[in-house]
Every structure is written in structure tokens, then in C-alpha cells.
Structure 1
Amino acid sequence: MRKVICSKSDRKRTVQVTFRQFDYRVLIDRSPLVLGSQDDPQVTVTIPQGTLRGASQTTVSGTVYHRFLGIPYAKPPVGNLRFRSPQPPENWNGTRDALEFGSNCRQEGGIGEEDCLFINIFTPQLPNNSADTELLPVMVWFHWGAFVTGNGDITPGHLIDKHVLFVPVNYRVNVFGFLSLQGADVSGNAGLKDQVAALRWVKNNIALFGGDPDSVTIFGGSAGGASVHYHVLSPLSSGLFHRAISESGSALNPWAFTPDTQSYAFRLGSNLGLETDSAQELADFLRTVPGEQLSEAVDTLLTKEETVKLLTYPFLPTLEYPVEGESVFLTDYPHNVATSGKFNKVPYITGICLLEGHQFIGSDEDLANSSFWEAIMDNLEQVVPTDLGLPAGSPGSIEVANKVKEFYFGYEDISLETKSKWIDLQTDLLFAIGTQTTIHIQSKFSNATYNYQFVFGTPYHIAEVYYLIYSEAVEGVNTGPAIMSRLMTDLWSSFAKTGIPSATNVTWLPASGSSYPYLKLDTEHQLLNKVEKDRMDFWAGIYKDYYNGSIDG
């Protein structure tokens, strides 16, 4: 098995632990290429681009499935196509082997290639000559990685036993996928437009693999979950999917959007040797820089102070500038699009894990150092959400910081002894506030919005994914992990088939705009009302009183 190590760069650690510091290797290394027995007979499918040679296998549960890996769904975005919207794929002569994953996209740490726009297909059936062959629901997966790392090299676990197609996708990340320059031919959000191109490819081709183009569910975790939410919001994705699932990620999370990549782009050019105030000259220059050199320059772009100020990275989904010949994916701030009600109203599941913030509180070495906690106490304003619009040092910002400290910690210091409360705070700041805001807004316009909180086992960031698409690694039949895996795959696959998540002895009601039930995902699941109600009510009050700097700074 080829393992992909998505390591982080060697930036100096700062006091504030941010979204940048989660190591996705712990998940990527758990993805087995092989499910079940090594049958491996070859099978072919002919699509408009040409003929593909795949392979067949059998799962441990006895399901025969076929895999086609590394299929190009767009032209390689290299040379003059760097930073541009994806272009239609090229054809090939003869039979193309689709037996191995394609290259990862160029990303943090010098990993990957720019020729990377590949899609993988796992299908439990191929159509035969019979006119009554029933096409199966399709589940398209967008990977995690904070929009700077990750890949679609992943297999479906027990999902394939549920008679659905599993289709993971590569898309451009970091500067290659999210550079945006006003006044140049770089409109931005190329990585999200890659996903749109993949969905168009699915619509046009998936029936040839036994999938139903009129029954497509998009789902993903972390940045993949935020990507799913972006497709719900974008008119460019309209009609390309029919259901959506965001796991541990929302476009309203603070790490999923930046209002500006322009200033960082010019600094990047300067660091690489170009001094200019022309956006087009900068774009042309950046297209000539070797990919590895460009990736390395981005890895060291931010100052130490900026790594404290920013939650994630400089090149992220953002507002777009009109460019002739380029389609626009995001026309307004995500929150504005959501509250306008002008989004794709499809059945939607979204939720988080109980302890999402655990990975973002610091290393064991940090936590054991009293100076780490003292620095947090000396800089309490770091807990003030930037989207409140309160200038640092302003009375409003200081007041919010003190209210947050009092609510979460009372009269105690933030310290190793109150680590669990620090985890709760990071969970809320990075995930819960955005996800619950999404639920509240979306349920006003749609009666098919479902919410969950995953609490089983060690419910850290995107832990639910392990029991869903890594479920082949779960051992036993009646163990807690096995029960959890069956529950997750039943709920997700039934939703992909009907738009209603269902499983034996499970009642899961949608939010209604005035009632916000959620399913507590555990071996003994429960339907409860309002995720972390007291904490979310606290933040609702903060946003009501302080949003946009309503208290004069």
C-alpha cells in the first residue's frame, strides 16, 4: 500500500494553538487499499474519454465490488492553466489502467504533483445489457486537510456493502487551489471549482459504472465538510447533487474562509524575487515558479505574529473577482448567502464530535509547561472570534474576552487543571458555533436539515469518519466499534438512498426553525434537543450584543 504522509512544515510553535496544527497522518495511514479478498480480476468500462481497466474484489462481508482509480476528470492544471478553473479532460487511445491512485495534489510539505485532478470509483455493480438494470445511489467524498493538504486516496469501508457507489475526489489545495488576485486572470476558489468539475464528470459518466446521476450525495469531513456546505451555497453547483453531509466542517467555521488572499499573494511574489504592484504581472510570474519552490515559499510565508492572529492559512476559499471566461463559485460572504435563503435546498446532515477541539489545544510538551498557560492568560483576546469585527485592544474586544473567560472558567485560571474547559472552548470557536449557526439558518428555509453530535469512544476531530469509511478495519461483531460502524453506515447510506437517515430503532428528526433536535451518536444513541445548549446560548448572546463591533471600539 502506498501511504501518503501529509506532514506539517517546521514553523515555530506559537502560544495559540490553531487549526494549522492538526496532523492528518493519523487518519490517512489508517486507510487500507484492500478490502476483503484479493480476487483482483480485471474489468473494463468504456467512457467518452476512452476505455478504463479496473479490478474486482470481494469484501469480508462477501460483496463483490469493482474499483477504478486515478481517472482524470479535468486537464492537468499546469503551465498557463495553473490557478485557472479546471478545463474538460482529454481523451486517450487504447485502454488506460485504472489500477492505482493518481498523484496527490501539490501541497504543504512539498508533497504531490500539479497533475492531480483524479477521481476514484468503487462500485458494487456494473451495468449489463439488460434494460432494467437499476442504477445505484452515488456518494462523492471530498477530503479533509484544512484546504492545504489531503487527497482522495481512500477506500469505502463497509459503505460498499450498502449498495452505493463511493467516489472520492482529488482537488487543488493551498495556493494552487485558492490564490485570488483582483485585476488578474485569477478569480479564486479553483479548488472548489475542481470539485464542481468532478461533480459534472459524475453526472455525465457515472451511469456507465452503475451509478445513478440523479441520486448523488456529496459528503466530506473537516475541510471536506466545509466544501460540501460551500456547494450547498453555490449556484455553480446547482443540480449536480441531491443530498449533502458535512462532517466536522461548515463554511461558517472561522478556518474555512478568508476575506483576502491578495496581500499575501504580493508578499509571496516579493519573497520569490518579484516586486510589482501589477496583479497580472504577479499572476504571470507565479505561473513560472516551479511547483515545489512555490509550495515551499507558502510554507514560510506567515510571520510568527500572524500565525497567532490567523486560525489557518493565507490561501483559502474567498470572495471572487469577475474574470472573463471564468465562472463564479462564491458571490458573497457565506453567512450572507445562507441568510438570504438563495442556496441549494437539498436534504442535509451536519454535525460535530464532542471533543473536536482536543487536537488544537497544544502538544503534550506545551501543556506541561506553565509558561504556555500563562501566555494564554496574558493574551485573553485570542478567544474573541474575528468575525465579530472588534478591533484588538478595543473595549468591546476586551469585554468579550473577559466574558468568555468567566463563562468557561469562572474564577479559575486557564491551566492544565482546566484543560477540559479549554478543549470545550476550542471546540466551540473552531466548530460548534459555525455548525450550529448553519443549522439554525438552514432550517428556516428547509425542513430536511439533520444535526448530530458524535460522542462514542474518543470523539476528537472527525472521529466519526473512522467508523464510516475506515470501518473495514473495525474488528468483531458485537464490540462497541462494530456496533458504531454499522449504525454510521446504515444512517449515511439510507440518507444517500432516500434523503432520510434511518437505522434499526433510530428516530432522527430534522430541525424545524424553532426546534433543533440532534442525534447523539453512540452505541446507545439518543435524540436530544440543542447541541451544547448552554454554550451555544452564551455565544448567541455574544453575537447579538457585539456582532460587527456594535459596542463602540
Structure 2
Amino acid sequence: MYVFQHPGDPPHWNGTLKADRRTILCKQFDPTTSSVVGIEDCLTLNIYTPAIITKPLPVIVFIFGGGLYKGSNTDDRYNAKYLVQKEVLVVTVNYRVGAFGFLCLKTKEAPGNVGIKDQVAALRWVKENIATFGGDPHSVTLHGESVGGSSVSLFILAQKAEGLFNRAIIDSGNAIRPMFFDRDPINTAAEVASRLGYNTTDPDELQKIFQNTTADEIVIASTNNFTNNAYGRFVFSTCIEDVNVSKNVILKEYPKGLLKSVKDIPEISIIMGYDNKDGIMWASDYNSEGLRDLDYDFTTVIPKSITFKTEENKSMFIEDVRELYFNNSKTNIEGLINYFSDALVHYPSFLVMKAFLTNPRISLYNYYFKYDSHRNKYKLASTLSSIPGASHCDELYYLFDPVEYRQTTPTPEDSRMIGTTFSSSE
């Protein structure tokens, strides 16, 4: 585990990059350059600390999102100076993504969920070592966004990181989120293998194929075109592990089944919520042609986690969706935003929160983020920048200071949302 420390000087830390501020990505596809980036030896931590520490400080461990296929803990995106000004230590965690973190063949070499186990290993490292950096190992808040939040939710529900954190913050994520779990991971691996020129569903043969294929070739074979295909970006995901071959099993049942064991969760405080227009991220994948196609076949945007006993049940579901989100008229972009918001984030989050509330030992606090400004980076970068509200991930840029905004002073309104004050000289 590589560790890079970023000492700050609150409250006037200017975020200037220092020599030890490394950007290390795990292997993934970069759509902006249409190339494979990152390395396989990528398990790093970034630790942000005040310049002067006079007592052990509370710790926030942050797990990034990215659909389990991309992302990193890079300082360019997750510079934690705003949080450090509140007298806390912040640790941002890298974990393997794509096939390298979530290839699930249920074999000893590819058991599945190793990217999640990277996160547990990071938490264990923090518990054992954070005191050296001035942190309090007995006061750790685990914070995750999107699938990072899904991981945090999973750790709580499955009790797989017990004793490694005391509180949790879950942003627009949950363990039962549709794209967070793969019911047929062997078929997923076989589909990627078919793009490499092979035709097999045998786990041992698939393992040999992936072992004898270069990392870059695996990344390219795992990459889909997202245009008019909101779920295309999600390939490898978490899975049920074989308890006979897997060490430190993370999942041994469907995530939704974990809701039944909420009563066994020990005392914990949780902040959980989402953005009002989370669905902008996925709706922006659709152009006018894609919207017309949904008029004829809406099944392509029904999450795989939703199953139907009969075709009649499926037809009734689609009719209800059309009535609720599109007023029984043609598919429109605002209705699609609300549909994706509810189907992929809001409703499954609600189910998890409802389950948490059945346990009196869980203190649950909710938030609803809809603030809109020029720092709503994800919405502004989408094709739907004129839609009012906050897209999936937009809240991050009021918690962190990405490189794009470091040369400008936040507006007074943004400063209030960030929770700090700025002078024109900063």
C-alpha cells in the first residue's frame, strides 16, 4: 500500500500541488482520450492533514464512485482542503476497477469482489496506522459516493468491516442499487471473452483467457459505447462468492437479502441521501433517436434486477412507468431523468433507509441535494446543462476542490454551500 501525505495549512491552504501529490489510476478506459490509462499496481492512499496537529483528529475515509469500471482517488478531483479546514484527517482510497477488481469466476484466482476487498484492506491499514499521521483510529467515518456509497452500505448491511469505522456517509449509493450486483457474472466474463475471440462459459477456460490477455486488451474488450445505452458502461460488478474457494467472503447472498439482517447491525450513525436529478447522468446518454427507440422498446432501460413472472406483468409495469413519468405520451428527456433518478438511485436508497429505520441502534440522518451553480461539474459537462438541479456526483464539488476550480474564488453562495469562507487573495 503506497501512501502520499498532503499537509495543509488551514484555513488558508491554497491547494498548490506538491511534489509528492501523485496521480495513480488503476487500469481503465479514458473516454476523453479514447485510450487505456493506469497501472495494475495501483493500491494507494492519499492522506490530507492539517499542517499543525495538537491532538488526535477524527478521520474521514473516502471511497470514490465510477460504476466499478473507472475512477481513482486522484488529488486532481478529490483534493480535501475544505474538509481538512474542519480539523479532520481525510484519506482517499484507490481500489481496482473493471475486470481487475470484479472479474467473478468463483475460482480461487478470480473469486469476485476483490475491488471491495481492496477497500477493506485500506480500512484495516487506516485503523492500524492513522495514529502516525495524527488521526484517531477510534473515530473513523467511512464516506462513499455512488458505487462508493454502495460499498459503504454493503459494509454496514453485511457487517464485513466491523470495528474499522464508527460512522458512515452514503451519497447517492446503496447496496441494492441495480448496477452494483451481477446475477450472472460467468456470462458477463464470457461476453468479454467473446470480444477477444473466444467462445466459452467454462470458468477455468475463461480464467486462462484473461490470464493470457494483456491488461490493455482486457480494458478495451470491457468497454462499451454509452450512446443510447445507459447501462452499457456497467460491465463487471459485485457477485455472490463461492464460500468454498473464496477468502474473506464479502457477499454470499443477493444484496437485497441483507435487508433482513438489519436488526443485527450494532450502533452506528449514518448520513444518507442523494441529488434531486441524479438521473441526468444517464439520461444524457440519449439523443433524439434513442428517445424514439424507447417509444417502441422501453425494456432496454428496465434494470436487470427487476424480474417479471409473465410478459403481461412486464407490459403492465411499462404502462405504469409511461403514465407516471411520461403522461402516456412519447418519451421525453425530463421524464427519463426522473425515471433514472428513481430507478437507479432514489427508490433503492429509500428501501435501504426504510430498513435502517427498523433498527433503534441506527441513527439515520437524510439529505437532499439540489443546489445548482457553475460548480455542478457533471451536469455542466453533460448534454443537459440547462436542466435545473443537481446531477449525480454534483455534490462532490462542494466537498472537494477539483483542479478546474482552484484558480477561481467561489461565489458567496457557493462558499456558504461549501461551508467555508474565502478571500479574493486566495
TM-score tier, shorter chain, comes to 0.7 to 0.9
Deviation at 1:55, TM superposition (A): 6.0
1:254 and 2:175 equivalent? no
Counterpart in 1 of 2:324? 407
Aligned partners of 1:147 and 1:174 also within 8 Å: yes
> Which structure has the higher relative contact order (CA within 8 Å, separation 6+)?
2
Q: Deviations over 1:50-105 (max 9, x none)?
A: 9x88564435x3369999x9xxxxxxxxxxxxxxxxxxxxxxxxxxxx81325210
Give secondary structure in 2 for the equivalent of 1:162: coil
Matched with 2:37 is 111
Aligned to 1:398: 315
Q: Which of the residues 252, 273, 289 maps onto 1:331? A: 252
| Residues 1:394 and 1:277: Cα distance change in structure 2 (over 3 Å) | closer
Aligned counterpart, 1:439: 353
Of the three residues 134, 140, 151, the one matched with 1:227 is 151
Alpha-carbon RMSD across the aligned residues, in angstroms, is: 3.1
User: Displacement of 1:385 after TM fit?
Assistant: 4.3
SS of residue matched to 1:150: coil
- CA gap of 1:66–1:480, structure 2 versus 1, over 3 A, is closer
Give 5+ residue unaligned stretches, structure 2: 31-35, 373-388, 422-426
Indicate if the aligned counterparts of 2:111 and 2:245 stay in contact, CA closer than 8 A. Answer: no
- Give secondary structure in 2 for the equivalent of 1:200: helix
Answer with 207-216 or 322-331: which moved more: 322-331
Contact 2:111–2:246 at 8 Å: present in 1 too?
A: no
1:215 and 1:203 map into 2 onto residues whose CA distance is 10
Task: Measure how far apart 1:485 and its partner are.
Answer: 0.8
Residue deviations 1:432-454, cap 9 Å, x none? 11111111011111440111110
Percent identical: 29
**Partner of 1:480 in structure 2?**
413
Task: Give the secondary structure class of the aligned counterpart of 1:421.
Answer: helix
Paired position in structure 1 for 2:399 = 468
Residues 388-440 of structure 1: CA deviation (Å, up to 9, x unaligned): 3116x70000011101111223243323xxx3233211211111111111110
Secondary structure of 1:168's counterpart equals strand
User: What is residue 273 of structure 2 aligned with on the other side?
Assistant: 351
- Pair 1:340-2:261 in alignment: yes
1:99 corresponds in structure 2 to 20
| Uncovered stretches (5+) of structure 1, i.e. residues with no partner | 1-48, 70-97, 128-132, 489-553
Specify the structure having the higher radius of gyration (Cα): 1
Residues 278 and 428 (structure 1 numbering): CA distance in 2 closer, same or farther, change over 3 Å? Answer: closer
Q: How does 1:186-335 map to 2 (within 5 A)?
A: 186-274=110-198, 278-299=202-223, 310=231, 312-324=233-245, 326-335=247-256
Task: Specify whether residues 408 and 122 from structure 1 end up closer, same or farther in structure 2 by C-alpha distance, changes over 3 A only.
Answer: same
Distance in 2, Cα, partners of 1:334 & 1:138:
28
Contact 2:230 2:301 in 1 (8 A): no
Q: Given the superposition, is the C-alpha separation of residues 311 and 431 from structure 1 closer, same or farther in structure 2, using an over 3 Å criterion?
A: farther
Displacement after TM superposition at 1:147 (Å): 0.5
Cα distance in structure 2, aligned partners of 1:152 and 1:250: 20
Question: In 1, Cα distance between the equivalents of 2:147 and 2:177?
Answer: 10
* Structure 2 counterparts to residues 129-168 of structure 1, below 5 A: 134-153=55-74, 154-168=78-92
The secondary structure found in structure 1 opposite 2:322 is: helix
Q: Distance in 2 between matches of 1:54 and 1:340?
A: 38
Q: CA deviation at 1:312?
A: 4.6
- Residue type at the aligned position of 1:443: L
Give the Cα–Cα distance (whole angstroms) in 2 for the partners of residues 277 and 175 of structure 1: 16
Distance 1:198 1:484, change over 3 A: same
Q: Which amino acid aligns with 2:248?
A: S
Q: How many residues align?
A: 393
Partner residue, 1:361: 283
Counterparts of 2:194 and 2:25 in 1: how far apart (Å)? 28
1:124 Cα deviation after fit:
1.3
Amino acid of the residue matched to residue 112 of structure 1? G
**Closer, same or farther: CA 482–66 of 1 in aligned 2, 3 Å:** closer
Q: Distance in 2 between matches of 1:478 and 1:66?
A: 20
* 1:374 paired to 2:292: yes
Return the alpha-carbon distance in structure 1 between the equivalents of residues 217 and 328 of structure 2.
Answer: 49
Note closer, same or farther for the CA distance 1:278–1:401 as it changes in structure 2 (3 Å cut).
closer
Q: Distance in 1 between matches of 2:234 and 2:313?
A: 26
Counterpart secondary structure, 1:321 = coil
CA distance in 1, matches of 2:15, 2:226: 49
Amino acid at match of 1:425: Y
Q: Deviations over 1:10-52 (max 9, x none)?
A: xxxxxxxxxxxxxxxxxxxxxxxxxxxxxxxxxxxxxxx99x8
C-alpha offsets along residues 308-329 of structure 1, whole Å, 9 cap, x if unaligned? 5956523101111125461101
8 A contact 2:8–2:48 mirrored in 1: no
Taking the aligned partners of 1:424 and 1:270, their CA distance within structure 2 comes to 35
Q: Is the 8 A contact 2:147 2:180 kept in 1?
A: yes
Q: Using the alignment, how far apart are the partners of 2:170 and 2:226 within structure 1?
A: 32
CA distance in 2, matches of 1:55, 1:142: 17
| Equivalent-residue separation in structure 1 for 2:410 and 2:192 (angstroms) | 53
Distance 2:4 2:173 in 1: 35
Query: Is the 8 Å Cα contact of residues 226 and 233 (structure 2) preserved in structure 1?
Result: no
Q: Give the Cα–Cα distance (whole angstroms) in 1 for the partners of residues 16 and 365 of structure 2.
A: 32
Q: Quick one: structure 1 residues 362 and 241, their matched pair in 2 at CA, closer, same or farther if it must change by over 3 Å?
A: same
| Pairwise CA distance, 1:136 | 0.5
